């Protein structure tokens, strides 16, 4: 891979540029705000200019609702041979790019997983090192586009995870979107607590509610875009929570501390599920 165009010079876009520059890839930054592209150039993420010739791939690091029109524009201009994006929800995006009449053979939609309630504060060359990066090819995706996207992810230091768009959205509902909403529900309960109670909050509660710090408007858009899979997760959790509440009330009435079978089972399953979460892979030297 020799050249990459990054459309959208925010933190993610600049981090992609910095990561690629480590490997000598020539990167170009474009943005609706020219100052953002110039800021990316100053931090070393690439040249604030359009490429002189067609690039190998364009990374669309723009808000989700802009991906389809931006993709259509750059495909018409012939900016790159292949295209990818960094949006967190895939089924609506694929529906929108089809509606815009985009060339689907050159698109591999992607989503790097970088964590954090607010997202990274500053661009970093090592932001993606060892992190999973979902790629969601479809039956229309060409081999050139897929291979180019796989190379991009590897050069950024991330680990590719191939998923169908529907499977991706179900997966992020399970591991990110629904947990974020539950963290917000837990944190919101603190507003009704006495100050003396809140002062007893320790690290466990900070860990559970950490992602509730995320921008509410941004997360409202994400959760709405993935509404069906997130609602399915919440329905399952609500059923489990109601069953556990009934068991705990029975235990409270009977005074039998040995009774709550479901409680113990859930705690065991929780520990086993927590053990399945992998730490990021060790970055390559």
**Chain mean pLDDT for the chain:** 93
Is 7 within 8 Å of 81 (Cβ atoms)?
no
Predicted pLDDT of residue 150: 98
Predicted pLDDT of residue 253: 87
End position of a domain, from candidates 114, 141, 163? 163
Q: Tell whether 198 and 139 lie within a shared domain.
A: no
Predicted pLDDT of residue 281: 63
Mark the ranges of the chain whose per-residue pLDDT is less than 70: 115-120, 257-259, 281-285
Q: Tell whether 143 and 32 lie within a shared domain.
A: yes
The CATH number given to whatever domain includes residue 116 is 3.40.50.720
Q: Tell whether 109 and 77 lie within a shared domain.
A: yes
The CATH number given to whatever domain includes residue 197 is 1.10.3660.10
**Which tens digits make up the pLDDT trace of 191-243?**
999 999 999 999 999 999 998 988 899 899 999 999 999 999 999 999 999 99
Q: Per the domain annotation, does 70 fall within a domain?
A: yes
Q: End-to-end distance of the chain based on CA atoms, in angstroms?
A: 20
Predicted pLDDT of residue 284: 45
Q: Per the domain annotation, does 130 fall within a domain?
A: yes
Q: Which CB contacts under 8 angstroms, 24+ apart, belong to 43-46? A: 43/14, 43/18, 43/123, 44/17, 44/18, 45/6, 45/9, 45/13, 45/14, 45/15, 45/16, 45/17, 45/18, 45/21, 45/123, 46/4, 46/6, 46/17, 46/20, 46/21
Please tell me the pTM assigned to this model: 0.90
Predicted pLDDT of residue 257: 66
């Amino acid at each position: 891979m020799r050249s990459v165009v990054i459309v959208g010079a925010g933190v993610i876009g600049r981090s992609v540029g910095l990561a690629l520059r480590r490997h000598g890839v020539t990167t170009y930054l474009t943005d609706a705000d020219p100052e953002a592209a110039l800021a990316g150039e100053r931090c070393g993420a690439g040249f604030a200019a359009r490429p002189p010739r067609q690039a190998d791939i364009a990374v669309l690091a723009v808000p989700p609702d802009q991906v389809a029109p931006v993709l259509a524009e750059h495909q018409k201009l012939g900016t790159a041979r292949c295209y990818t994006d960094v949006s967190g929800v895939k089924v609506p995006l694929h529906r929108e790019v089809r509606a815009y009449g985009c060339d689907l053979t050159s698109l591999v939609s992607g989503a790097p997983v970088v964590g954090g309630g607010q997202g990274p504060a500053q661009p970093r060359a090592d932001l993606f090192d060892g992190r999973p990066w979902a790629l969601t090819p479809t039956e229309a995706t060409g081999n050139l586009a897929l291979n180019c996207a796989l190379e991009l992810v590897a050069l950024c230091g991330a680990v590719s995870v191939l998923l169908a768009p529907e499977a991706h959205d179900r997966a992020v509902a399970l591991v990110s979107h629904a947990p974020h909403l539950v963290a917000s529900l837990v944190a919101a309960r603190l507003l009704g607590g006495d100050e003396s109670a809140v002062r007893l909050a320790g690290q466990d509660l900070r860990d559970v509610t950490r992602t509730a710090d995320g921008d509410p408007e941004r997360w409202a858009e994400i959760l709405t875009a993935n509404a069906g899979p997130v609602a399915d997760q919440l329905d399952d959790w609500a059923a489990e929570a109601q069953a556990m509440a009934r068991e705990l009330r029975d235990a409270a009435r009977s005074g039998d501390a040995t009774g709550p079978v479901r409680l113990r089972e859930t705690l065991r399953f929780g520990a086993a599920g927590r053990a399945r979460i992998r730490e990021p892979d060790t970055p390559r030297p």
